[in-house]
A and B are shown apart, each in its own frame.
Chain A
Amino acid sequence: MSVDAQAQEAHAGAGAGHHEEIPWLRRYVFSSDHKVIGIQFLFMSLFFLVVGGLLAMAMRWQIAWPSSQEMPLPGGGMLPDVMVTDGIMLPEFYNALVTMHGTIMVFFAIMPLLVAVWANYLIPLQIGAEDMAFPRLNMASFWLAAPAGILMLASFWVVGGAANAGWTAYAPLSVSEVYSGVKLGQQLWCLSLIILGFSSLMGAVNYITTVINMRAPGLTWFRLPLSVWGLTVTSVLVLLAVPVLAGGLIMMFFDITIGTSFFQPEGGGQPLLWQHLFWFFGHPEVYILILPAMGFVSDVIANGARKPVFGYHAMVWAIVAIGFIGWVVWGHHMFMSGMTPVLGGFFMVSTLIIAVPSAIKTFNWLGTLWGGNIRFHTPMLWALGFVSLFVIGGLSGIFLAAAPVDIPLHDTYFVVAHIHYVLVGGSLFGIFSAITFWFPKMFGRMMNEGLGKLHFALTFIFFNATFFPMHMLGSGGMMRRLYDPTQYPHLQPQQDTNVFITVCALLLFASQLILVVNFFWSLFRGKRAPENPWQANSLEWSAPSPPPHGNWGGRLPAVHRGPYEYSHPERESDYWLQTDPTGAAPAPAPTTSGG
């Protein structure tokens, strides 16, 4: 069957919508169009980002002005007495805030913002497909994620409150009501994550099948944009890591609900088993949360620098290498758990090794920038912010990977600083880069550059002012998840730093209002976006903004080269669309030189 005939046939199947109007409900709510599902995930996870941020603000308030009558939590009066009594936040509620902030941010904000939003939105567009391999499975994936989120939020209002054993839910604290005072909240926590896990699995099966089977003619593996590579390797990690967490969660749920003793020492169980299961999932999860961002940032940096990505193949193999090594490093979370030090040594070495592919990526980004005629558009600023902050987070990661250093720093604010440098400075900056870069494609309108740059500048400043001092707090011995630092004499000299951090955190949160304003203003009033506003090369920029149902109007695009042919010496224009047939004789693979 010829390519065109096949495209026509696929069109005939998918394109019913071109000729007859799709009812509103099926078009925007129960839609199986990958773009609508991506946008649904975008709104859902941005909502959870705000919720998670609010929880963090409440925590910071308590840390800066612990249980203070003079500085009561704003809005605390609206909360029920089991959370805040007489303006004083209860320790149990603080623990629930810690737990839910981590859980919501990791599972309901950052993970969908990186994977679900962009894998859905970008993969078919960047590989030149009309939709996902399994559009209805895709829809089910969203409609499982949304109730999982509602279940998680609802747990705040059940008897005993939300789960409060930390986002890592270490047993036996998490499985025993005697210790934590929470039963129903922890059960809902387990159920919600199991349901979300199903949603992630459906997504992962879909993304992997789609990338393998549905690439446009001419789009070989090594002509894929790095975003697609990042998302694909991430999907493999999701596919293999999430079921392990699900297994652990099921055992935890049984421990709480039907009284088994998998993780309860009094019944013969092994608390350490939960830690192993959790981190066997949890460490690949860390790379799930960074690999897609690395992909987006590579696309944006090449575009901003107007140069091919330096070392495209090395970038691809670095992603793959991180995906592999990520499976054998989980024990570095458990140096202090009583695990045998011999194993600790292994995990330390494997963790240090994973710094190598990460460094390859960093140097290649710098190599891409070197000598480029850089356009500092908003997505580019976020991408540059990503690289610089990821380096700081990566370096503090090397501190923590070394077992002898980790022993004093474990469970201190140093770890909190590290995780936020990679998860906010890394993942979230990458997400903002992606949102500002692909917004014109998604909604057909440009975002405001001035507001975008202001948002970036304020976020960058307040982010560092919030999280950098936490390194000092941690080295000074301040424990994480601490309800009231003033209770400890050795922490009192650092209390001023805590107040400073809280003020900066509040400003950081407030700065995000600019994004909200910019987002919604641009959505309705922004300048109409052309097809290719950034003069980029990859396939999505050959589709209209926003792309119609079926993306390509019934004819699959043909691909003639890799996605990074910027500033080609033999061309006048400094970009070269992958679909551009001119001068395309035998198309070369993407160049690996810095040009």
Chain B
Amino acid sequence: MSNTTAAALERPTTGPGSGFGVYNMKLGMWVFLLSEVMFFTALIGAYIILRFTNPGHFAEPGVVLNVPLTAANTFILICSSVTMVKAFAEIEAGNQRGLRMYLAATALLGILFLGVQAYEYSKLVHEGFVPAAEFYAALGRDGAGAVEGGPLYGATFYTMTGFHGAHVTIGVLCLLFTTVMAFRGRYTAANHGGVEIMGLYWHFVDLVWIILFTIVYLI
């Protein structure tokens, strides 16, 4: 069976003349990403509804959340999309060294993003910005007053950014796997479906972050 899957991955087109001329793995990834869009739509939609109906629960941009830090983190993620594109371009040209370098760079940037997010979370929790309604703002800020906003702020923030973070984590694990495969010479100029679908997923995760950053941090 693994041969079939591998063959489906390698072959640029399958199916005798039917279909959209896209190989199975790529089509499957697009279809999967459609469902991911709906998942994040549910989370973002809930956030919009809760924020409109309870404006008092949400602080002005930049008061609770550290916008400059996250802007830098957004930049890191966007850079990782660039390196991902470069990796794909390198293998299309048949350049193994370039592929390995850019894939590893993408994975490292992803890890860096997660690290910054972990730092941000720990700092926020320390300031009393937590998801649980009961404990929201109960801990208080070091020296300063209690954190602004209400429990819905914490709940929606951690749910949306947390699930995005989980997606990045999965992406990083897949990137590490792809990088290892690249070092083993798995991809060639003719056969690099694995790199392409990895890129699709990674760009999707990046795109979702840009939306989240805008609506959670900036407005």
**Interface of A with B (CB < 8 Å)?**
3, 6-7, 9-10, 12-14, 16, 32, 131, 133-136, 201, 204-206, 208-209, 212-217, 219-220, 239-244, 246-248, 250-251, 254, 258-262, 264, 266-270, 273, 276-277, 280, 556
Contact = CB atoms under 8 A, between A and B. Distances in A.
B133 A264 contact: yes
B61 interface: no
A242 B15 contact: no
A292 B17 CA distance: 26
28 contacts: A7-B16, A12-B3, A13-B3, A32-B1, A205-B35, A209-B24, A213-B23, A214-B14, A215-B19, A216-B16, A239-B38, A241-B38, A242-B35, A243-B35, A246-B39, A254-B155, A259-B132, A259-B134, A260-B159, A261-B133, A262-B152, A267-B155, A268-B56, A268-B57, A268-B151, A268-B152, A273-B46, A556-B16
B42 interface: yes
A209 B27 CA distance: 6
B39 A217 contact: no
B84 to A, nearest CB: 22
B18 to A, nearest CB: 4
B219 to A, nearest CB: 20
A518 B203 CA distance: 53
B19 A212 contact: yes
Nearest to B14: A213
B18 A214 contact: yes
Among A3, A213, A280, residue most surrounded by chain B Cβ atoms (within 10 Å): A213
B38 A240 contact: yes
Interface of B: 1-8, 14-20, 22-24, 27-28, 31-32, 34-36, 38-39, 41-43, 45-46, 49-50, 53-54, 56-57, 131-135, 150-152, 154-156, 159, 163
Among B4, B6, B8, B155, residue most surrounded by chain A Cβ atoms (within 10 Å): B4
A505 B25 CA distance: 48
Given A13-B3, A205-B28, A273-B49, 17 more contacts: A12-B3, A16-B1, A136-B1, A214-B15, A215-B15, A215-B18, A215-B19, A217-B16, A239-B31, A244-B38, A260-B151, A260-B154, A261-B133, A262-B152, A276-B49, A277-B46, A280-B42
Contacts of B34: 239-240
A6 B23 CA distance: 14
B5 A134 contact: yes
A246 to B, nearest CB: 6
Given A16-B3, A213-B15, A247 B43 contact: yes
A225 B63 CA distance: 59
A83 B112 CA distance: 53
A468 to B, nearest CB: 38
Contacts of A6: 14, 16
A522 B2 CA distance: 35
Nearest to B50: A270
A87 B5 CA distance: 57
B50 A273 contact: yes
A16 B7 CA distance: 14
Nearest to B46: A273
A304 to B, nearest CB: 30
A131 B155 contact: no
A254 B159 contact: yes
Among A7, A12, A262, A280, residue most surrounded by chain B Cβ atoms (within 10 Å): A262
Q: Please classify the interface of chain A as helix (H, G, I), strand (E, B), loop, or mixed, using the class held by over half of its residues.
A: helix
A347 B46 CA distance: 20
B1 A244 contact: no
Contacts of A242: 35
B132 A258 contact: yes
Given A13-B4, A16-B3, A133-B24, A262 B155 contact: yes
Nearest to B28: A209
Contacts of B57: 268
Nearest to B19: A213
Given A134-B28, A213-B15, A14 B1 contact: yes
A247 B155 CA distance: 13
B38 A213 contact: no
A510 B32 CA distance: 42
B132 A136 contact: no
B118 to A, nearest CB: 18
Contact of B42 (A134, A248, A258): A248
Given A242-B35, A247-B39, A260-B132, A14 B4 contact: yes
A450 to B, nearest CB: 41
Contacts of A276: 49
Contact of B152 (A205, A216, A267): A267
A287 to B, nearest CB: 16
Nearest to A221: B18
A266 B46 CA distance: 17
A34 to B, nearest CB: 11
A267 B133 contact: yes
A260 B7 contact: no
Closest 4 CB pairs of A and B: A247-B42, A267-B133, A243-B39, A260-B155
Contacts of A212: 18-20, 27
Contacts of B151: 260-261, 267-268
A207 B1 CA distance: 18
B132 to A, nearest CB: 4
A135 B4 contact: yes
A9 B19 CA distance: 18
A280 B6 CA distance: 37
Given A240-B34, A244-B38, A267-B152, A131 B46 contact: no
Among A206, A209, A214, A269, residue most surrounded by chain B Cβ atoms (within 10 Å): A209
Given A215-B18, A260-B133, A261-B152, A247 B46 contact: yes
Among B2, B15, B38, B135, residue most surrounded by chain A Cβ atoms (within 10 Å): B15
Contacts of A3: 16-17
A246 B31 CA distance: 17
Nearest to A208: B31
Contacts of B39: 243-244, 246-247
Contacts of B32: 201, 205
A248 B46 CA distance: 9
A63 B148 CA distance: 52
Contacts of B24: 133-134, 209, 213-214
